[in-house]
Structure 1
Amino acid sequence: MATPLRLHKAPPRVPHGAGPSLSWALGLRPGEIAIDAAAWLARFAARNVGLAATLAVIGALFGLQALALLRAPAGWLPATITIALAPGETITLGQRELAAPQTDRAHLSLRRDARDGWMLRNISPSKQVVLLRDGAEQRMGSEALRAGQSFQIDGALFNVTSSDAGAIVFNRDGHTWRYDGAVLYRDGLAQSNCPDARLSGRALSLWNRAMPTMLTIARPLSFGGNLYCGNRLGLAQTTPGAAQLARVNGRLELSAGNPDGDRASVLVHAEGVQMDLRRQEASLRGVGAMIVGHTRFQLAPAGDRLTLTPSRHVNLFNVPDLKLPAAVNWQWQQRSLWNSGHANALWGAIAVCLACVAVSAAGAVASHGIWLRRAASGAKLLGAATLLIAGVSALISQRAGMPPSAALSMLLGACALLLWLTFPGRLALLTAAGVVLLAVGLLAQLELGLGAPQTSWLRYYQKSAAMLAIGAGLGGLLRVWAWHQARRAAHLQQRAIEWTLATFAAVALAALAAQVLWGDETGVFDLQPVELAKLALTTLTAHCLALRFGWHSETRHPADHGARWLRLIAPALLFIALLGLSLVQVDDFSPLILLLVWSTAMALAYAVAARHRLLTAALVAVTLSAVGAVVYLRLAGTDDLIRWGFYADRFLVWLNPAEHPHTGQQLLLGARAIGEGGWLGADHWLGLRALGQPAGGVVQIPAVQDDFAATFFINRHGLAGALLLWGVQAAFLTGIVLTALRAHQAGASARNFRQAWSGRFHYFALCGGGAFVLGHFLLSWGTNLAIFPIMGQPMSFLSAGGSHLLFFLCPLLAFSAISAQSLEGD
């Protein structure tokens, strides 16, 4: 009997490139699902080696962040500080009682008066106390002078004849003095500049004399010393700086200075009452908060008890136990690294971002399914918008004193980098190196925040994560827009591009002007407009150079070329001049060197594009000469440096730090920390055993989170870790150079003006951005390793520079990714 033929149903065929979820939908068993998923992942990794390696490195770095959070020891701090005093009693409060790290041991004198209630006096010789009353600030030890009052500094008595928001006039010994917040006039004439005034100070003095009051730059009036010059009013036998008169919150206030010698008395006489500003006592009635050092305290008086709630800068303790005076009582709380309080709503945004990352990744790897690719496109747009909103919310919450937890900030940073990798286009070397450098920087900042004995150090990590989310969100939206523009073959008109660049330059100039008028060398409104100016300067110069190469490409209106060239080059020259002037005012020559590196790199890029061999050789010779000059200064000694004036001190400290232990403290502490790190880190395990643990004395290095971030990294992860970091930094710069050269080739072989201009613009813009990053790398490593004198520049990606990250690095990464994507399309 013949055996019946049996027909077996073949297993359904899975389309090539489909993921394991499709296999599950077709009814395969769990074991087969696992095998299928593993095989699919292996095929994907084999086809995308660079992306797989980048994801593995980022996963490892964020895994180390999570491990650091899990291993961090418990930290305790006071939730509230309650002070109980009987009428007439007085207590002295300082760093120990207030848990405020930036205060003196004896900073405040608190008294309870039977009639006036709680009274406060600042007894610190050098640090101020600010009272916040009804939305206005009151600085202890200062007084807004009025007409009819008199003030006395040691034995010198001055009578105030008139005073308003614009100026104050007072007289003494037959001389009439007028001060408007910027310039001091003696008998109607502005005083001459002081002999030790620098060039920038003399230029600032000329500006203040020529400009109206609203455009002047505030300069305080200093009393004391033997010189009548500039904004100094000399008083015999009085220590320079014994008192100051300055504009504060729209008022001219007299305050006691901080002389190094004997304490001078500063008295204010009004209506028969004499008040010593150094012993000024203020009532706390109506005061809602006060700032002591850098710590903010909310005040809540209730009868014989005053409750203080500290925030922002608070000391951490290993155990909730501290011996305090009988009148002081702490309510302890444990530092939370996981719970964000009011910021917990951001967890929803994190979940949306992660879902968008998953959908975007699925759409990127799927070779079939139009609906999936459309869903991925929408997910990218939604994820970028959600990430932007989450970053802004996190930053606002931090500014409001309710920062997100460290765990939430970690996930926010991870979402930013993962979403960045899912956008269209092949993964370029500079993008892969850039996201790895960002992950390394977040890890270093988290380690520093967890290792410091204060709550305030985590704010650098939280701010960087929020800034990264904002920058990645904005950059993601720009990349989506550029991708859709490229698919529709839509391009901006040349006139629109020029107006956009001109507007960008105007905004940057306005931001620089705001810093000059209302800020200082650290920035304005907690931002650094210089970082935005670097980007504007680079793009505007790239546009001008790109047009220079296309000078004869447009023949429609050849007579307009000269006028157009002048119209475009003039803003660039003006912008360079104003940027250089603003940078000269900083008490540091690093911005000038940064501009010099950028200028040299742009000249070299132009020489390469123009095939100008003589100019290329000259630039190489100048660079080698600069290296030789550094070596010469290192070997020649310090005999010829005394005549250099202001900058001589920095070189003397650099060459012989042991002979200048005070001014060379930063350099000496940094060298000691690097020596402790050695090759394998202070823990001899490349920092793995020290994850989340106290950082030790390295946090005492000034600006260790910023200018000396590389020193902390070497101390924690050793020179071996630094070598790996150098390799990634070199890969990033190499990626920029390779992308720039491809853009140059595309521009040189283009068939029309638009494509030629686009290629050359991308080429010069990438060269300029890479030059600034190279300058930051050189200056930072040179400062930390004592190759150069100390110069204050953050290290790109590693330092906690929020403005540098948001206004320069994130736009550079977005522009680089768009450039690489456009070259693929071409």
Structure 2
Amino acid sequence: MARVWRNFDWTLLGITLVMLVIGVVMVRSATINTPGLEDMVRRQITFCLVGLVILFVAASVDYTLVATAPTLTYLILVGLLALVEIVGMTQGGAQRWVEIGLAVQPSELAKILVVIILARFLADREQAIRRISTYLGAVLLLALPLVLIYLQPDLGTTLSIAFAGGVMLLIAGLPLIYAALTGVAAAAVAPLAWLSMQDYMRNRILLFLNPAGNPDDFYNVNQALISIGNGGILGQGLFHGSQSQLHFLRVRHTDFIFSVIAEELGFVGAVIVLVLFILLLLRLLRIADLARDSFGRLLVIGMTSIIFFQAAVNIGMNLNLLPVTGKPLPFISYGGSSLLIFMLSIGLAESVAMRYRKLEF
């Protein structure tokens, strides 16, 4: 057992720890002197500590064991997502939580479980990846969870899992003609998807395309841009951001924490965060490259894709380069379910890294 720990990626762990520390400090800055949010920092620290335990436990387990019963895992996941539709709790206008002793958000769990199940499906069909049956099977496997998550409604998580699934299919060797056909099909159903969206989803997209059309709704994005502009090169100083500390910027501890970083730590602080994400993604891609089997490689690729997608979307909406989606910045924004799932992802990636070569006796 001690031998496998020699390959533990301590650099990846170090990058993750730095991001967690930055997250705790910035959550503190974003919630200081804010009635009702006084307990956020303590809770974030607790999430980080629990996440580290999850990371090391996941790393200690052979990653091949997590897909021992993919059919049963899939049925449990679909059951939890369906349960949300029946008895789910509503918060912030979305029905995404179920109460099973504690509040659980199945859509967050779906991020990792769908990746595990799809990775196992594709790895088992490595020699038949070019068959239309493999492609259709993968699409059907993805479709049911995605529809259930979309109906909560949770467009951001739906897109992140769909993106990861698409990347995994391409890395597995999906013929490009299938990808092209998928694109054509997506374009064909786009009008139907637009009509099926909740009003707030359409409003966010329209607001992005035409901010002047509704200045009141554009308020928070505008405050985020002001915050980033106020930061300059070195920032206004930790705990001294004008837009964040005077509470002009809303949901600053979750969706718009990147704007707080840019305002208080400046361009330099924002670049440091971006560099940390790049380094994290590169370490994960290195592990995927080292993986000894297709399952391990696809598992890490899927998790890397979700982290990349969510970070890019969050930063993009802070810069008004993408519509607001309500997705937190991985490892940095306040949040329990999301942070724990990302820590589990890092732990599973470490498990792949630790076992990239078979033990010799």
After TM superposition, give the deviation of residue 574 of structure 1 in Å: 5.3
Q: Which residue is equivalent to 2:144?
A: 578
Q: Which residue is equivalent to 1:453?
A: 34
SS in 1 for 2:98: coil
After TM superposition, give the deviation of residue 586 of structure 1 in Å: 4.4
After TM superposition, give the deviation of residue 825 of structure 1 in Å: 4.9
Q: Letter of the 1:739 partner, please give it.
A: I
Alignment of 1:505-524 (within 5 A): 505-518=74-87, 519-520=89-90, 521=94, 522-524=96-98
Identify which of 268, 280, 295 aligns with 1:732: 280
Q: Letter of the 1:728 partner, please give it.
A: L
SS in 2 for 1:523: strand
Cα distance in 1, alignment partners of residues 62 and 47 from structure 2: 22
Cα distance in 2, alignment partners of residues 694 and 649 from structure 1: 24
Residues 782-816 of structure 1: CA distance to partner in whole angstroms, max 9, x if unpaired? 1110001211111111111210111x212111111
Residue 476 in structure 1 maps to residue 30 in structure 2? no
Alpha carbons 1:588, 1:792 under 8 Å: kept: no
After TM superposition, give the deviation of residue 591 of structure 1 in Å: 3.2
Q: Letter of the 2:234 partner, please give it.
A: L
After TM superposition, give the deviation of residue 719 of structure 1 in Å: 1.9
Cα distance in 2, alignment partners of residues 497 and 655 from structure 1: 42
After TM superposition, give the deviation of residue 616 of structure 1 in Å: 11
Q: Which residue is equivalent to 2:44?
A: 464
Q: Which runs of 4+ in 1 moved over 6 A?
A: 616-619, 691-694
Residues 652-673 of structure 1: CA distance to partner in whole angstroms, max 9, x if unpaired? 3223434422221221221222
Identify which of 690, 714, 717 aligns with 2:265: 717
Residues 44-92 of structure 1: CA distance to partner in whole angstroms, max 9, x if unpaired? xxxxxxxxxxxxxxxxxxxxxxxxxxxxxxxxxxxxxxxxxxxxxxxxx
Q: Which residue is equivalent to 1:425?
A: 7
Q: Letter of the 2:335 partner, please give it.
A: G
After TM superposition, give the deviation of residue 731 of structure 1 in Å: 0.8
Q: Per the alignment, do residues 576 and 617 of structure 1 end up closer, same or farther by CA in structure 2, a change over 3 Å counting?
A: closer
Alpha carbons 2:254, 2:333 under 8 Å: kept: yes
Unaligned runs of 5+ in 2: 188-193
Q: Letter of the 1:536 partner, please give it.
A: L
Q: Which has the higher strand share?
A: 1
After TM superposition, give the deviation of residue 512 of structure 1 in Å: 1.6
Cα distance in 2, alignment partners of residues 550 and 459 from structure 1: 53
Q: Letter of the 2:117 partner, please give it.
A: L
Q: Which residue is equivalent to 1:364?
A: none
Residue 498 in structure 1 maps to residue 46 in structure 2? no
Q: Which residue is equivalent to 1:604?
A: 170
Identify which of 637, 646, 654 aligns with 2:208: 654
Cα distance in 2, alignment partners of residues 446 and 645 from structure 1: 33
SS in 1 for 2:222: helix
Q: Letter of the 1:512 partner, please give it.
A: L
Cα distance in 2, alignment partners of residues 453 and 703 from structure 1: 11
SS in 2 for 1:457: coil
After TM superposition, give the deviation of residue 716 of structure 1 in Å: 1.6
Q: Which residue is equivalent to 1:533?
A: 110
- For CA contacts below 8 A with separation 6 or more, give which structure has more relative contact order: 2
SS in 1 for 2:97: coil
After TM superposition, give the deviation of residue 724 of structure 1 in Å: 0.9
Q: Per the alignment, do residues 587 and 514 of structure 1 end up closer, same or farther by CA in structure 2, a change over 3 Å counting?
A: closer
Q: Per the alignment, do residues 538 and 426 of structure 1 end up closer, same or farther by CA in structure 2, a change over 3 Å counting?
A: closer
SS in 2 for 1:652: helix
SS in 2 for 1:798: coil
Q: Which residue is equivalent to 1:762?
A: 296
Q: Per the alignment, do residues 676 and 770 of structure 1 end up closer, same or farther by CA in structure 2, a change over 3 Å counting?
A: same
Identify which of 323, 326, 331 aligns with 1:792: 326
SS in 2 for 1:718: helix
Q: Per the alignment, do residues 530 and 592 of structure 1 end up closer, same or farther by CA in structure 2, a change over 3 Å counting?
A: closer
Cα distance in 2, alignment partners of residues 650 and 694 from structure 1: 22
Residues 450-484 of structure 1: CA distance to partner in whole angstroms, max 9, x if unpaired? x2332x3243322222222223223323434549x
Q: Which residue is equivalent to 2:253?
A: 705
Q: Which residue is equivalent to 1:779?
A: 313
After TM superposition, give the deviation of residue 715 of structure 1 in Å: 1.5
Alpha carbons 1:441, 1:798 under 8 Å: kept: yes
Unaligned runs of 5+ in 1: 1-373, 378-422, 484-490, 553-564, 627-640, 747-758
Alpha carbons 2:24, 2:41 under 8 Å: kept: yes
Alignment of 1:163-174 (within 5 A): none
Alpha carbons 1:509, 1:575 under 8 Å: kept: no
Alpha carbons 2:146, 2:162 under 8 Å: kept: no
Alpha carbons 1:429, 1:731 under 8 Å: kept: no
Cα distance in 1, alignment partners of residues 177 and 267 from structure 2: 38
Cα distance in 1, alignment partners of residues 46 and 81 from structure 2: 24
Cα distance in 2, alignment partners of residues 678 and 692 from structure 1: 11
Residues 475-499 of structure 1: CA distance to partner in whole angstroms, max 9, x if unpaired? 323434549xxxxxxx86xxx9532
After TM superposition, give the deviation of residue 693 of structure 1 in Å: 11
Q: Which residue is equivalent to 1:672?
A: 226
Q: Per the alignment, do residues 734 and 424 of structure 1 end up closer, same or farther by CA in structure 2, a change over 3 Å counting?
A: same
Cα distance in 2, alignment partners of residues 678 and 587 from structure 1: 37
- The size of the alignment, in residue pairs, is 333
Alpha carbons 2:84, 2:152 under 8 Å: kept: no
Identify which of 10, 16, 23 aligns with 1:441: 23
Q: Letter of the 2:43 partner, please give it.
A: K
Q: Per the alignment, do residues 659 and 574 of structure 1 end up closer, same or farther by CA in structure 2, a change over 3 Å counting?
A: closer
Cα distance in 2, alignment partners of residues 703 and 437 from structure 1: 20
Q: Per the alignment, do residues 478 and 774 of structure 1 end up closer, same or farther by CA in structure 2, a change over 3 Å counting?
A: closer
Alpha carbons 2:108, 2:337 under 8 Å: kept: yes
Cα distance in 1, alignment partners of residues 249 and 240 from structure 2: 20
Q: Per the alignment, do residues 675 and 587 of structure 1 end up closer, same or farther by CA in structure 2, a change over 3 Å counting?
A: farther
Q: Which residue is equivalent to 2:289?
A: 741
Alpha carbons 2:119, 2:298 under 8 Å: kept: yes
Residues 424-472 of structure 1: CA distance to partner in whole angstroms, max 9, x if unpaired? 53435433322222222122112223x2332x32433222222222232
Question: Over alpha carbons, which structure has the higher Rg?
Answer: 1
Cα distance in 1, alignment partners of residues 180 and 74 from structure 2: 31
Alpha carbons 2:58, 2:344 under 8 Å: kept: no
Q: Which residue is equivalent to 2:190?
A: none
Q: Which residue is equivalent to 1:682?
A: 236
SS in 2 for 1:797: coil
After TM superposition, give the deviation of residue 576 of structure 1 in Å: 2.2
Alpha carbons 1:583, 1:592 under 8 Å: kept: yes
SS in 2 for 1:524: strand
Cα distance in 1, alignment partners of residues 234 and 241 from structure 2: 17
Cα distance in 2, alignment partners of residues 463 and 769 from structure 1: 25
After TM superposition, give the deviation of residue 528 of structure 1 in Å: 1.7
Residue 812 in structure 1 maps to residue 334 in structure 2? no
Alignment of 1:621-660 (within 5 A): 646=199, 648-660=202-214
TM-score (norm 2): 0.79
Alpha carbons 1:508, 1:533 under 8 Å: kept: yes
After TM superposition, give the deviation of residue 507 of structure 1 in Å: 3.0
Q: Letter of the 1:479 partner, please give it.
A: A
Q: Which residue is equivalent to 2:354?
A: 821
After TM superposition, give the deviation of residue 710 of structure 1 in Å: 1.1
Q: Which residue is equivalent to 2:191?
A: none
Residues 346-377 of structure 1: CA distance to partner in whole angstroms, max 9, x if unpaired? xxxxxxxxxxxxxxxxxxxxxxxxxxxx9xx8
Taking only the aligned residue pairs, the percentage that are identical comes to 21
